[in-house]
Amino acid sequence: MKIISHRGNLEGRNPELENHPEYIERCIKKGFCAEIDVWCIDGKIMLGHDSGQYVVEESWMNSFFHRLWVHAKNLEAVELLSKNSWLNWFWHEEDLMTMTSKGDIWTYPGIYVKNGIVVENEFKELPPFIKGVCTDFPILYMNHEKSRSIIHQ
């Protein structure tokens, strides 16, 4: 199962650091992918959940493209990201699910679709048919997956 850090979190929510570029880099260095929230405001690329907080260069995103799941937060971000063929990005608001630019199904918490990526903000036992989880607790999920594989050997 693919385990994706939600906004760079590793062991629970940390709203003060979520989406901060150094927080995301720390998460990636630990071996996880990360979901980030991207805004494009007046031509500047910014990370942040409810608004753009941290300015980053497009080269920053490109350097981590293989580890990022990019949530476009405004239409200007969609326009920018749609020109970038290597980033895996998506847009959604209240939809139960959406499809990423790389063809992955991304779902809201509790919506389990075969081969989908579900966002879960609490630790839960997940169905075996999903492809992955985006969570504030990736270390907990990683340890759980390791213990399951040991049990099933």
pLDDT tens for the chain, 153 residues long, are 999 999 999 999 999 999 999 999 999 999 999 999 999 999 999 999 999 999 999 999 999 999 999 999 999 999 999 998 899 999 998 899 999 999 999 999 999 999 999 999 899 999 999 999 999 999 999 999 887 655 444
CATH code of 80's domain? 3.20.20.190
Q: Which residues pair with 70 in a beta bridge?
A: 36, 89
Q: Using only C-alpha atoms, what is the Rg of the chain?
A: 15
* pLDDT computed for residue 150 by the predictor: 56
Residue 116 host element (H or E): strand 116-120
Range of the domain at 61: 2-151
* pLDDT computed for residue 94 by the predictor: 87
Amino acid at 37: D
Count the domains in the chain: 1
Cβ atoms of 93 and 75 closer than 8 Å: no
Handedness of CA 127, 132, 134, 139 (dihedral sign): positive
* Residue 94 to residue 131: CA distance in whole angstroms: 22
**What are φ and ψ of residue 97, in 5° steps?**
-160, 160
Amino acid at 146: K
Amino acid at 77: A
DSSP-derived pairing of the beta strands 44-47 and 54-56: antiparallel
Cβ atoms of 35 and 6 closer than 8 Å: yes
Residue 23 host element (H or E): helix 21-29
